[in-house]
């Protein structure tokens, strides 16, 4: 999503300069991590506006068009700027699915930040009812079972536009069979404000 879209239909209202600041912080944290093996730490007293509020975020790093890391939090525990800085560092260097990003690759990489709303439980009576209650392209979804937990950001709807497919693959991500169902499964939804420096 282009940077200019970060002021349109937001769940968490961010000014354009705050979007740009978060993208700069994410990139600076990756650069800092390449030099020091730790994320950039920002002084809370210096964080103005939404950047200093406790918010959950995800950061995705793409080298050219290939995903090279995606790390985030579903619950807010840090000021947004620090959450983005930590997630950017971990996405670039600690996501075990990918090789760590190198300094050479960083210059041709793009960063996407998603700022999340607080998760809300979804009430449903069956798996079919769950599918009907989802809002494609808007809902991020969390699956929680006794020993399973996984989430898909709203962006995943681009690849899985049908609710049944979306939930089937979310179950697989959680380590469950695609056709698994139990009344013990719980689902929650959140929305994400996403913007990129691509």
Q: Where are the domains of the chain?
A: 3-117, 120-192
Please give the CATH topology (third level) of the domain spanning 120-192: Dna Ligase; domain 1 (3.30.1490)
Question: For 80-139, what is each residue's pLDDT tens digit?
Answer: 999 999 999 999 999 999 999 999 999 999 999 999 999 999 999 999 999 999 999 999
**Secondary structure (H, E, C), 138-178:** CCEEEEECCCCEEEECHHHHHCCCCHHHHHHHHHHHCCCCC
Which pTM does this prediction carry?
0.88
- For 3-117, give the CATH class: alpha beta
Contacts of 76 (CB under 8 A, 6+ apart): 54, 55, 56, 83, 116, 118
């Amino acid at each position: 999503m282009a940077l200019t879209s970060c002021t349109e239909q937001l769940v968490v209202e961010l000014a354009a300069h705050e979007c740009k600041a978060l993208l700069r912080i994410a990139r600076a944290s990756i650069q800092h991590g390449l030099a020091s093996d730790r994320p950039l730490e920002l002084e809370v007293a210096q964080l103005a506006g939404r950047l200093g509020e406790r918010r959950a975020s995800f950061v995705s790093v793409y080298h050219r068009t290939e995903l090279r890391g995606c790390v985030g939090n579903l619950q807010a525990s840090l000021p947004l700027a620090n959450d983005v800085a930590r997630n950017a560092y971990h996405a670039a260097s600690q996501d075990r699915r990918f090789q760590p990003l190198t300094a050479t690759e960083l210059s041709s990489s793009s960063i996407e930040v998603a700022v999340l709303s607080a998760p809300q439980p979804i009430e449903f009576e069956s798996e079919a009812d769950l599918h009907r209650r989802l809002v494609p392209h808007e809902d991020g979804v969390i699956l929680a079972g006794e020993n399973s937990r996984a989430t898909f950001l709203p962006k995943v709807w681009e690849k899985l536009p049908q609710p049944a497919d979306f939930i089937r693959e979310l179950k697989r991500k959680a380590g469950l069979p695609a056709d698994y169902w139990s009344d013990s499964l719980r689902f929650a939804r959140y929305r994400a404000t996403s913007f990129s420096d691509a």
